[in-house]
Structure 1
Amino acid sequence: MRNALALSLLAALLGGCASHKPEDYNGVWINQNAIDAASKGTGLRYALERHGPNFEWKVNVAAGQASYSNGFELVEGRLKAIDEDHWQVELDGDQVENLELDGKELVQATSDWAPEQRFQRSSDTINPDIPPGAAFEQALYGAYLKGNWKILEGPGQGGTVRFRDNGALDGLPNLDRYALCLAGDCASMTGKFDSLWLERNQQGNPWIFKRDGKQMEIFQAINDSQPDEMPSLRPGARRWLLEQK
């Protein structure tokens, strides 16, 4: 009886360590930890930087391709198997990223330039028409700015604003689209401040915002740079005060 029990436990352990199939790696994988941190209602870029630098992986085993997005660039590489459980992505400049599966998470191993990161599979499938980073961005928008927001102060006071996960915007007068600044040039221009782009009919401007729990302030962006310099934006007059319902 004791031997039979031991064999049963050993079989269970071995079964739990079974190797993944190559196709298990296929798909779009998003940095859910970064989204969860941001959705608590704190500073956006601070949350993303703490859980970055990469926001999304796209893996296609059959094509031998893998790529990641970090909010402002797409980095593509060649995918190859090291063994049944470990894969490498060879990138330009002799950079290599190591990937493996841990349960339902895709793990990007610690390297000289980045800490370990974990990604969860998105419902989006590998499709050449899906822009790089779009799955992460849509999930982030839906979590960070979800629901309805009441205009406490500013144009349209008393009305309701809705930031949709596809970038559409309802309720802010004379505006119909928005985009959050995640990284790259827009982040360089605003330094420590969070920013977003607001537009109507593809014409718009950058704005500074500050999120504190269920309230969000949106400020005009003042440029302190000379005309021949990169813009350096800081908060100006507050335009709106919103509260999440």
Structure 2
Amino acid sequence: MRNALVLSLLALVLGGCASDPAARDISGVWINQAAINEAAKGGHLREALLANGPNLEWDIDAKNAKASYTNGFERVEGTLLPQKKGTWQVDMYGSSAIELGLKGAALNQTASDADPQQSFVRSPVQLASDAPLGTHFERALKAVYLGGQWRVISGLGQGNTVTFMPDGQIKGLPDNNAYALCLAGDCASMSGEYDSLWLQQDEIGAVHIFVRNGRRLEIFQALDSAKSDEMPQLYPGKLEWVLEKQL
């Protein structure tokens, strides 16, 4: 009886340690799944990202006390310091510290004067350990936002089936075999209120404006209203393709 009681107490103590959030290793890549879920509704891409961001991905190395995040156009690095139970502070180089905390399976970034509260999940995407920061988020986003098969309703290649691959390749869109979505940064500044993407055939490519409305995707030629010595200000020109997502 006594031995059974001792074993029960020991199991309780060990179980408590295993479930202690502070004892969990938060190392790995975490992505902003809420932003991806919002984008999956099939509307304005950058609005979906901003509404749930601005940060898109964290890469944490607890063993070496390192943490980095990207908001889609810059990489910010800091030193990871454990704090009270289940929380960590990231001292960012040249800016204020960020507090992270575990809540269930989610990694939460505490709201601050600079950013709202944001939530991240471990990346389900399997990539090489040296993949650039942000690649996990981008691949997960592309798979959801442009995944599946699309049919060319109008434009070159009418009737074709188009597939946007998570790794940035395109199949079925004439004169293009690669693409990239604009998430933030200079490309977002240049396209203003519009979403944009880069379409490319081998080494030659160009930026395009696009409008996503549910299962319909319109891709326009990008025209520039800026002067030669100004940052480009892009707006939609000729409608080049209309694609419809297949059920």
Distance 1:125 1:171, change over 3 A: closer
Which residue matches 1:166?
A: 167
Matches of 1:124 and 1:76 in 2, distance apart?
22
| One-letter amino acid of the structure 1 residue matched with residue 112 of structure 2 | S
CA contact (8 A) 1:66 1:76 kept: yes
CA contact (8 A) 2:32 2:56 kept: yes
Overall identity of the aligned pairs, in %: 47
Matches of 2:121 and 2:20 in 1, distance apart?
18
- Secondary structure at the aligned position of 1:110 is classed as coil
Deviates more, 1:81-90 or 1:216-225: 81-90
Shift of 1:129: 1.1
- Secondary structure at the aligned position of 2:183 is classed as coil
Superposition RMSD in Å: 1.9
TM-score normalized with structure 1 length? 0.91
Which residue matches 2:146?
A: 145
Matches of 2:190 and 2:232 in 1, distance apart?
6
Matches of 1:177 and 1:66 in 2, distance apart?
31
Deviations 1:135-170 (A, max 9, x none): 000000000001000000000000110000000011
Deviations 1:68-121 (A, max 9, x none): 010001000000111231100001224100011000000000111111100000
CA contact (8 A) 2:17 2:23 kept: no
| One-letter amino acid of the structure 2 residue matched with residue 190 of structure 1 | S
Gap runs ≥5 in structure 1:
1-10
Aligned residues: 233
| One-letter amino acid of the structure 1 residue matched with residue 59 of structure 2 | K
- Secondary structure at the aligned position of 2:141 is classed as helix
Which residue matches 1:242?
A: 243
Matched, 1:181 2:218: no
- Secondary structure at the aligned position of 1:25 is classed as coil
Which residue matches 1:217?
A: 218
Which residue matches 2:4?
A: none
Which residue matches 1:59?
A: 60
Matches of 2:165 and 2:95 in 1, distance apart?
40
Which residue matches 1:43?
A: 44
TM-score normalized with structure 2 length? 0.90
Matches of 1:93 and 1:186 in 2, distance apart?
25
- Secondary structure at the aligned position of 2:116 is classed as coil
Which residue matches 1:7?
A: none
Distance 1:108 1:203, change over 3 A: same
